[in-house]
Structure 1
Amino acid sequence: MTTVKLNESWSQVLLDKVVFITGAGGGIGSAISHTCALHGARVVVSDINKAAADKVVTDILGNQNEASDRIMSLELDTVDEQAIEQAVKKVVDKWGTIHVLVNAAADFTLGLIENVSADAWSHIFNVNVRGYALMIKHIVPLLKQQRSGSIIQFGSISGLIAQAGFVPYNTTKAAVIQMTRNIALDLGPYNIRCNSISPGCIGTPQEIANMVVFLASDLCPFITGANLTADGGYTTI
């Protein structure tokens, strides 16, 4: 991916917002991290794979060492609540608060219902649903205190349609979409928005990153509780 030149950004719609991204070491998470940095954010690149998170940071910075105080990488397993608490504390100690949470960490378990073990069910729900809820739990007090914020969660068109042999994954993604609506309702009085993005077949991860920047910014104060699909029109059929 092309190195982002932070000082040449055409737009600063996220200027000085602290954006905490989980699952940031993957393709979409990396694109989100790059694009948020491009638009002026202070970016927390977190992933269960620390080497992947570090590489994203290195790619973003390039030779711009002067920008290193605007980005940090963290090893984070979102299934571990104590690790979440410690990660949030590190960010607050460095930058004072968090303005945007992007729940992008996810795992993929497939299978027919009779073949999926109890352990597999526990794992996929822990990563794809419980981890999202725990991240929100520990960041929401900061958002409530400042009476503003944006939470962006990753669903999938798999949470909207039926697919043969996809029952574990599809069930968790449907849960994320419903969680998003409920969180939006509960946090609306505090001027905190919560939306989900449900990708299907996409052109490039950049398309999704652009959606995240829009939802994270102050450009859409009345968009909350929404699930935005990016699937080339697949779910219109």
Structure 2
Amino acid sequence: MSKLSGKVAVVTGGGSGIGEAISKLFAAEGAVVHIVDLNVEGANQVAETIVATGGQAKVHAANVTDQQAIVQIANEIGKIDVLVNNAGIAHVGNLENCAADDFDRVLNVNVKGAYNTLFAVVPRMKANGGGAILNLASIAAWVGIADRFAYSTSKGAIFAMTLSVARDYLNDNIRCNSISPARVHTPFVDGFIAKNYPGKESEMFKKLSQSQPIGRMAKPEEIAKLALFLCSDDAGFITGNDYPIDGGFIKLNN
């Protein structure tokens, strides 16, 4: 029996990186996957791969910052058993290097985006008798990371939001957890390094990889496997928790 057989899952930012790996794995485990992404081209490629391998997937082009659009998508889908809040953006800079527009943009996507999907999906889960929610937090919610002021603020909010939702919907059979990855090797990371450290790509990739005590970045598929467990019935007794998946970053960097 597949772990998500008969389940309907919504994955935001499912068109690339961690979201892509989660979408593919969830579909392989029997879920009907609805990918919500602003990157329609990437999302369509992921959905086509899923369908070509015998899975079920549908793409919804939307910006998670648009609550009305997200609510409309949730209404169109109807029954939703699993929600993965994965969409997010980053910003490099400390407090003094973070302009108001940058701060607003990061919080609008990372925090309000998660709020919008929760606002749209939780009533559906209540009506269906329960569900599982997974929010993507970060090691930046646990430890101080240099030059990540806005990003760290947003992921700390996700950490607290997870606890609030988990507590408020205990009686509705809705579980809510989060995971906190360290650095994961995705196209986003490669682009991030190229943009912020031009001419020093190899040096920075090595440095960022070795910042994990385990000596490398995570693979998106490794994050997806933890997401699968937490969203499956195997984790039925788990709610209100955050799970670092960090190669020892939080506890072993000493």
Q: Distance in 2 between matches of 1:120 and 1:90?
A: 33
Which residues of 2 match residues 46-85 of structure 1 at below 5 A?
46-62=36-52, 64=54, 67=55, 70-85=56-71
- Where does residue 13 of structure 1 map in the other structure? 3
Residue among 151, 158, 161 paired with 2:140: 158
Offset, 1:204: 1.1
- Where does residue 217 of structure 1 map in the other structure? 232
Q: Distance in 1 between matches of 2:173 and 2:71?
A: 23
Which residues of 2 match residues 87-236 of structure 1 at below 5 A?
87-92=73-78, 97-201=79-183, 202-236=217-251
Q: Distance in 1 between matches of 2:250 and 2:30?
A: 34
TM-score by length of 1: 0.89
Offset, 1:147: 2.2
Is 2:98–2:149's contact at 8 Å kept on the other side of the alignment?
no
Q: Structure 1 residues 63 and 167, CA, compared in 2 at 3 Å: closer, same or farther?
A: closer
Is 2:182–2:218's contact at 8 Å kept on the other side of the alignment?
no
Q: What letter matches 2:73 in structure 1?
A: A
Offset, 1:63: 6.5
Once the two structures are superposed, residues 51-86 of structure 1 have per-residue CA deviations (whole angstroms, 9 ceiling, x without a partner) of 11101011222265xx5xx31011110000111012
SS in 2 for 1:101: strand
> What percent of counterpart residues are identical?
37
After TM superposition, the runs of 4+ consecutive aligned structure 1 residues lying more than 4 A away are none
| Gap regions ≥5 residues in structure 2 | 184-216
Once the two structures are superposed, residues 98-149 of structure 1 have per-residue CA deviations (whole angstroms, 9 ceiling, x without a partner) of 0010000000012121121111111110100111011001111111112210
SS in 2 for 1:219: helix
Q: Distance in 1 between matches of 2:27 and 2:146?
A: 39
Is 2:133–2:176's contact at 8 Å kept on the other side of the alignment?
yes
Q: Distance in 2 between matches of 1:163 and 1:212?
A: 24
RMSD of aligned C-alpha atoms? 1.2
Q: Distance in 2 between matches of 1:20 and 1:78?
A: 12
| Gap regions ≥5 residues in structure 1 | 1-10
SS in 2 for 1:210: helix
How many residue pairs end up in the alignment? Answer: 219
Q: What letter matches 1:235 in structure 2?
A: I
Q: Distance in 2 between matches of 1:81 and 1:234?
A: 35
TM-score by length of 2: 0.83
Residue among 72, 75, 90 paired with 1:86: 72
Q: Distance in 1 between matches of 2:52 and 2:116?
A: 33
Offset, 1:155: 0.3
Q: Distance in 2 between matches of 1:46 and 1:134?
A: 12
